[in-house]
Amino acid sequence: MELGMVGLGRMGANMAQRLVKHGHRVVGFDPGPQAREQASQRGIDAVDSLTALVAGLKSTRAIWLMVPAGETVDRTLADLLPQLSRGDIVVDGGNSFYKDTMRRAAMLSEHGIGYVDCGTSGGVWGLAEGYSLMIGGDEIPVERLRPVFEALAPAPDRGWGRVGPSGAGHFAKMVHNGIEYGMMQAYAEGFAILERKQEFGIDLGRLAQIWRHGSVVRSWLLDLSANALERNPTLDGIAPFVADSGEGRWTVAEAIDLDVSAPVITLSLLERLRSREDDSFADKLLAAMRNEFGGHAIRKG
């Protein structure tokens, strides 16, 4: 079928290319000329405006947004809305907050436009291996997009599915990322313990390879860790600085809002915050307190 792709960054361009490979036609828009140029070379009909994108699609249209979460989504929807017709469908494939999604779906619904939220996992590997797609929204538009989901997923019959009404897809993706934080932290701590036990001289890349086959902890994240550790066993040149993209924060906040105690997901987020502190006020105060009551020496900062 035919799809408009708004946003031809790393994720959007790869997804569009995967759709093209599966025989779909993709009209793609990105404000950056270089992104459009590269998309053209990958078989995407790259256009230089939203208007051209809308014009390049037959009714009823399906337009997939792969743009940064937040204001960009609202702005894009505001630009698109006057150009769309009843029965068109917009998909938000990014990491939007699920409550924003619910608000947007209600707004578009008043105009007879379908709104589907699609939590998309797979990263840069999705182009080759397919994406895991958690979909929220009404059943009819989801069903109409079936060929798209079947092409994006690792296989037509797996790795994608409608999980609930509007917002459910992004909610599921949010929790997915929370789990991801927890798993990553678990591996990171484990390898850090092994690395510190220098008397055993364990080759961490090799151990990760052993674990990849038959162990209880085998996973795709372990596959990636094995790659990273085999290539650079001491992780030389990598700063201990861990960014976070926002979904972990939402998961922590939602868990608390739902009265669910989620210590591991929460601590995984806090550890990322901690990784970015190089002069912790809390730790300085602890040192100062110890000095006050016990006369313990303070290190000069």
- Catalytic annotation, residues: 173, 180
Shortest distance, position 254 Cβ to a second copy, whole Å = 6
Q: List the interface residues with a second copy, window 108-127 (CB under 8 A).
A: 121-126
Residue 151 CB neighbour total at 10 angstroms: 21
Strand order from edge to edge, sheet including 2-6: 45-47, 25-29, 2-6, 62-65, 89-92, 114-121, 132-136, 160-164
Binding to a second copy, residues 132-151 (CB under 8 A): 132-134, 136
The position carrying tokens 């390879």 is: 209
Q: Give the integer Cα–Cα distance in Å for 124 and 185.
A: 21
Q: In the set 1, 10, 56, 87, which binds a second copy (CB under 8 A)?
A: 10
Give residues 280-299 in contact with a second copy (rule: CB under 8 A): 280-296, 298-299
**Most distant CA pair in the chain, distance:** 78
The residue range among 29-37, 54-62, 69-77, 158-166 that interacts with a second copy, by the rule CB under 8 A, is 158-166
The verdict on 107 binding a second copy (CB under 8 A) reads no
Site for a second copy in 166-195 (CB under 8 A): 167-168, 171-172, 175-195
Site for a second copy contains 268 (CB under 8 A): yes
User: Of these, 2, 79, 100, 129, which contacts a second copy (CB under 8 A)?
Assistant: 129
Interface with a second copy (CB under 8 A), residue total 135
Q: Is 272 in the site for a second copy (CB under 8 A)?
A: yes
Q: 227 by DSSP, 3-state: which? A: helix
Work out whether 100 is an interface residue with a second copy (CB under 8 A).
Answer: no
End-to-end CA distance of the chain: 63
**20, 40, 17: which is closest to 127 by C-alpha?**
17
Which ranges in 27-167 belong to alpha helices (H)?
33-41, 50-55, 71-80, 98-109, 126-129, 139-144, 146-152
In the shown chain, the binding pattern of residues 19 to 58 toward a second copy, with x for contact by CB under 8 A and - for none, equals ----------------------------------------
Residues 225-264 that bind a second copy (CB under 8 A): 225, 227-229, 232, 235-243, 249, 251-256, 258-264
Q: Name the residue with tokens 């052993």.
A: 210
Nearer to a second copy, 50 or 235 (CB): 235
Q: Of these, 94, 130, 137, 141, which contacts a second copy (CB under 8 A)?
A: 130
Binding of residue 154 to a second copy (CB under 8 A): yes
Name the 3-class secondary structure at 171. Answer: helix
159 contacts a second copy (rule: CB under 8 A): yes
Structure tokens at 182: 């927890």
Burial of 100 (0-12, 13-18, 19+ CB in 10 A): middle
How far is residue 117 from each of residues 8, 85, 102, 237, 298, measured CA to CA in Å?
A: 18, 19, 9, 39, 53
**Residue 202 binding a second copy, by CB under 8 A:** yes
Residue among 25 and 176 whose Cβ is closer to a second copy: 176
284 contact partners, CB below 8 Å, separation of at least 6 = 301
Instruction: Report the C-alpha gap between 119 and 277 in whole angstroms.
Output: 31
> Shortest approach of a second copy to residue 64 CB, angstroms?
17
Q: Decide whether 114 or 182 has the Cβ nearer to a second copy.
A: 182
Residue 160 makes contact with a second copy by CB under 8 A: yes
